[in-house]
Amino acid sequence: MMSMTNSALVKAESQPAPAQLRLWAARTAGVVIDGGRSSDDAISEVSFTNSCSGRDQALVKEMAMGVIRWYWTLEEILQRLLKTRIRNKDRDIFFLLMIGVYQLKFMRIPAHAAVDATVQACEPAAKPWAKRLVNGVLRNYARHSTDIDRQLTSDAARFAHPDWIRARVVAAWPQQWKLILDANNARAPMCLRVNVGRIGRHDYLAELQKAGIGAVIDPHVATGLIVHKPVAVESLPGFFKGWASVQDTAAQLVVPALNLQPGHRVLDACASPGGKTAHMLESQPELSEIIAVDIDGERVKRLRQTLDRLQLTAQCIAADVTQVDAWWDGAPFDRVLIDAPCSGSGVIRRHPDIKHNRQPADVDALCEVQARLLESLWPLVAPGGSLMYVTCSVFAEENQEQICAFLDRHSEAIVESLTMQAGVDCGVGRQTLPGIHDMDGFFFSMLKRISD
């Protein structure tokens, strides 16, 4: 047998042990579930990405996001396995148990390896006393998982959603609610938007195939490809030349529906991170001007970075877009896009932390923000021009109910028909749903100003 070279031996020794990966995953899940942070913030706070290979990073993220996604199911399983409640000061052990159960229930890791690595994670957690507990609980579940899973009775455990989200989805979509909840618990596909002004979609598909990245044409949008297996953006051909961007199919439906024409002046409100701003510039390079506004300076930096990578230019402004006098020059817009802050209930499959970090009161507050955006920006639309209102929500109060209330206040506004075929007709707009055509849940409504 050949011995390892010195460099290979050093590299192997520098990789974290499987136990450490489980502990990082448990801590990441805990920061989201107990700390109320986003997944991205939790990954940054736990700070494991610089300490392990890309493959190990993917494993940590899979385990952490799995626990975040399936928390209510895993919690009820543990309630049936634990004889006494774990103390608050030992929540790290509770999350390690969740990581263990998640591996046994949802991953292809051999049971003995999953149990052993999770038990050993009690050492770097500085709680060796918990090894016996973790070992006993996980081995018990491995032996009796079928019977235990059959005993799960609560709707929260069965559908892995908090009761209030499930109830609102059922109320809004009584025929499709289970399809939506099931889709929320699935992994979202990686969708690409090809900059067809730089490279044809079929040509880019060929470039992906040359790079060993499998993908297919997205039948719902003229710019879309769907990657078989998600990859790092750095590995996408021509990514830093602006050939392609990562963007869900539903989000790619927005810009074609705007029907942009040469010479149009456009406002993109709430514009960061810039995907739709860039798509507008790619699809209609002869716009007279596009102004992209976002309230947060750091988000505007991200917006500019998006445009720089794609070699595109827009006037980017950091401002509260509803404070019109602070940034508007008085010239009306032919098109206004409001990609409104919302609950995110249509993108839970991409951001399962939403299940933990959103509360019912948040939706009420967001509805007020949405109404204020509509009222503030409607006067900026030129007669004959249009405003498109978009959310990534499936809740009726943020979508069709919001638009109906606006129409009641504004007789000079009418709803335009949308050219898109995807989604469900809501009377005043269209709604794509998770679980149908494998898209995120987006609402679209196009309002035309018929008089001054």
Active site residues: 392
The H-assigned helical ranges of 47-70 are: 54-69
First to last CA, the chain: 83
Task: Give the number of residues written for the chain.
Answer: 452
Q: Beta partners for 414?
A: 448
Residue 281 in tokens? 């510039």
Distance CA 447, CA 313 (A): 27
- Mode of pairing for the β-strands spanning 381-391 and 430-431: unpaired
DSSP run (H or E) holding 31: helix 18-33
Residue 391 in tokens? 């959310």
| Nearest residue to 259 (alpha-carbon basis) of 418, 46, 439, 149 | 418
Q: Which amino acid is at 435?
A: G
Quote the longest CA-to-CA distance of the chain.
83
Return contacts of 374-378, CB within 8 angstroms, 24+ apart. Answer: 374/338, 374/402, 374/406, 375/406, 375/409, 376/321, 376/322, 376/324, 377/267, 377/269, 377/321, 377/322, 377/324, 377/336, 377/338, 378/336, 378/406, 378/410, 378/413, 378/447, 378/449
Distance CA 184, CA 344 (A): 11
For residue 327, how far is the Cα from the chain centroid? Answer: 30
Distance CA 365, CA 264 (A): 33
Q: What is the DSSP letter of 239?
A: G
Please calculate the CA angle 424-429-431 and round it to the nearest 5 degrees.
35
**Contacts for 129 with CB less than 8 Å, ≥ 6 apart:** 122
